C-alpha cells in the first residue's frame, strides 16, 4: 500500500492539547484512497478500450477480469478456431440380410471426453427384384441407439442396382472416451430385399454399380465443447 508523509519530520515532543496539530500529527502518514476496491470494472469480450472519466488512481497491480476462450479457440486479439475432428469411411461392403441391426464394417470413431457433433451417411443398393427398406443408426459401442433413419429402395434387377441413402446427425456428450459406430438393417415384413451397404457411389459406372471409391458410407465427428 502506498504511503505519503511530509518531507520535513518534526522532532519536537507532543504537547497535551489534542485540539491543535502536534508533531505526531504532522509526521503521520497520510491516508490515501486510490479507489481500487470499488472502481474496478469487468470487461466483456469485444469491449473497446476506454481511458475512463474519473480522477482516481488505480493500484499498479490491479487487472480486469476477462472471459475465458471457449473450446477450440486460441489467441487473444484475434482468436483462432482449431476444432478436433474424427472420421471413418468404410472400405468394403456390408450385406444387410436381416431385420435386426448389424455393424457396418469400418464405420466407427472413438471420441475423447467432451461434446461432439456426429454426422453419418449410409449408401446401399438393391440388386434383387424385391424392394428393400434401408434402416441405419448411430449407436455407441454397447449398441445403445443414438439416432436412426430409414429410406425405401425400389426393386432392382439381377444386373441393375437401385439405390438408397440415409443421413444421420447427433450431438453426444460423454465423460470418458467412447466409440460410436454405424449399424444397418433391412425391412421386416415388406421391403425385405437384401441390401448392400456400399463404400462408393454409382456415379458414371455400368448398371448402377459402386465406384468403390471408399468415400461414400462413413461416420464423422467434430468436437464442439
pLDDT tens per residue across all 225 residues of the chain = 567 888 888 888 888 888 888 888 888 887 766 555 555 666 666 677 776 666 666 665 666 777 777 777 776 666 676 789 999 999 999 999 999 999 999 999 999 999 999 999 999 999 999 999 999 999 999 999 999 999 999 999 989 999 999 999 999 999 999 999 999 999 999 999 999 999 999 999 999 999 999 999 999 999 999
* List of residues 6+ apart from 120 with CB closer than 8 A: 107, 136, 138, 167, 168, 169, 182, 218, 219, 220
Is 20 part of any domain? Answer: yes
**Is the overall model pTM greater than 0.75, yes or no?**
no
State how many domains the chain has. 2
Instruction: For residues 95 and 197, state if they share a domain.
Output: yes
Instruction: For residues 149 and 218, state if they share a domain.
Output: yes
As given in the structure block, the three cell numbers for residue 82 are 482449431
Which of these three, 41, 67, 93, is where a domain ends?
Answer: 67
Is 139 part of any domain? Answer: yes
Is 94 part of any domain? Answer: yes
Instruction: For residues 106 and 214, state if they share a domain.
Output: yes
**b/e sequence 50-59, b meaning 16+ C-beta within 10 Å:** eeeeeeeeee
Distance CA 89, CA 199 (A): 7
As given in the structure block, the three cell numbers for residue 187 are 425391412
Which of these three, 37, 67, 97, is where a domain ends?
Answer: 67
Instruction: For residues 128 and 216, state if they share a domain.
Output: yes
Instruction: Note down the domain range covering 53.
Output: 1-67
Nearest alpha-carbon partner for 114 in 221, 201, 202, 188: 221
Instruction: For residues 142 and 99, state if they share a domain.
Output: yes
Evaluate whether 143 touches 101 at the Cβ level (below 8 Å).
Answer: yes
Is 13 part of any domain? Answer: yes
Amino acid at each position: 500500500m502506498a504511503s505519503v508523509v511530509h518531507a520535513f519530520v518534526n522532532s519536537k515532543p507532543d504537547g497535551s492539547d489534542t485540539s491543535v496539530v502536534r508533531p505526531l500529527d504532522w509526521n503521520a502518514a497520510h491516508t490515501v484512497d486510490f479507489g481500487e476496491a470499488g472502481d474496478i470494472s469487468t470487461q466483456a469480450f469485444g469491449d473497446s478500450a476506454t481511458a475512463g472519466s474519473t480522477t482516481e488512481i488505480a493500484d499498479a497491480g490491479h487487472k480486469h477480469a476477462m472471459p475465458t476462450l471457449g473450446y477450440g479457440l486460441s489467441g487473444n486479439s484475434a482468436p483462432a478456431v482449431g476444432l478436433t475432428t474424427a472420421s471413418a469411411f468404410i472400405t468394403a461392403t456390408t450385406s444387410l440380410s436381416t431385420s435386426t441391426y448389424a455393424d457396418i464394417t469400418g464405420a466407427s470413431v472413438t471420441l475423447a471426453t467432451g461434446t461432439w457433433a456426429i454426422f453419418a451417411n449410409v449408401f446401399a443398393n438393391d440388386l434383387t427384384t424385391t424392394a428393400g427398406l434401408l434402416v441405419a443408426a448411430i449407436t455407441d459401442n454397447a449398441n445403445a441407439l443414438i439416432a436412426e433413419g430409414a429410406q425405401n429402395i425400389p426393386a432392382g434387377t439381377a444386373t441393375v442396382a437401385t439405390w438408397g441413402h440415409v443421413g444421420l446427425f447427433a450431438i453426444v456428450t460423454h465423460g470418458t472416451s467412447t466409440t460410436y459406430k454405424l449399424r444397418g438393417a433391412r425391412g421386416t415384413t415388406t421391403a425385405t430385399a437384401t441390401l448392400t451397404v456400399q463404400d462408393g457411389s454409382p456415379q458414371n459406372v455400368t448398371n448402377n454399380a459402386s465406384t468403390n471409391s471408399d468415400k461414400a458410407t462413413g461416420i464423422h465427428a467434430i468436437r464442439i465443447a
